[in-house]
Chain A
Amino acid sequence: AQKVTQAQTEISVVEKEDVTLDCVYETRDTTYYLFWYKQPPSGELVFLIRRNSFDEQNEISGRYSWNFQKSTSSFNFTITASQVVDSAVYFCALSESIQGAQKLVFGQGTRLTINP
């Protein structure tokens, strides 16, 4: 079965430090998508990135970067020079095809706290 593991339940760092959130996944599918979402205290899930399974190029967006390693089934997320506004729960997710639809299988989330 599809599974996503975010082993880090909580991370706390001081502002301006770099921080990496780990994500490991299991899937039977040969084609799939991986995602990261941010959940701020308001609760809404904010889409951050989608990665296609056959595109292993790392991606950078401002202070955010993502490292996709198919060989180790990992899709890690790094925030460089963290800021207090980055404090949130971050979820990694994996797509699974289900009868004409796409289900998202989520990890348990990592609560990131950036201290001033």
Chain B
Amino acid sequence: SQTIHQWPATLVQPVGSPLSLECTVEGTSNPNLYWYRQAAGRGLQLLFYSVGIGQISSEVPQNLSASRPQDRQFILSSKKLLLSDSGFYLCACPNRAENEQYFGPGTRLTVT
């Protein structure tokens, strides 16, 4: 089964600063990859997904962007953070059958 790595684990950034969160996956090839966000006291919402290198789909309009430079690497970025970008960011990868999703350990972002 696959292993999902995320870093950093926690991050405190000032408003207006850039952001780069990384997700890498081991134990699988050509997976679909997903970025979810969990805002404080709320459920999880899908932000971006990717079905292959260089292919990014956005689910909600926002201040963030995503990129997939390599098969098992998924990056979440922002040029200028907003207070509303604070939250817990989770990267997910499905099993081969695409009927179960597994999540990485997450990055807790606080924008001050």
Contact = CB atoms under 8 A, between A and B. Distances in A.
Interface of A: 33, 35, 37, 42-45, 47, 50, 52, 91, 95, 98-104, 106-109
Contact of A50 (B51, B88, B100): B100
A99 B98 CA distance: 13
A107 B51 CA distance: 25
Contacts of B17: none
Interface of B: 32, 34, 36, 42-46, 49, 51, 57, 59, 88, 90, 92, 94, 98-106, 108
Contacts of B57: 98-99, 101
Nearest to B6: A44
A10 to B, nearest CB: 11
12 contacts: A43-B88, A43-B108, A44-B105, A98-B49, A101-B34, A102-B99, A102-B101, A103-B46, A103-B49, A103-B59, A104-B44, A108-B42
A98 B59 CA distance: 10
Contacts of B105: 42-44
Contacts of B34: 101, 103-104
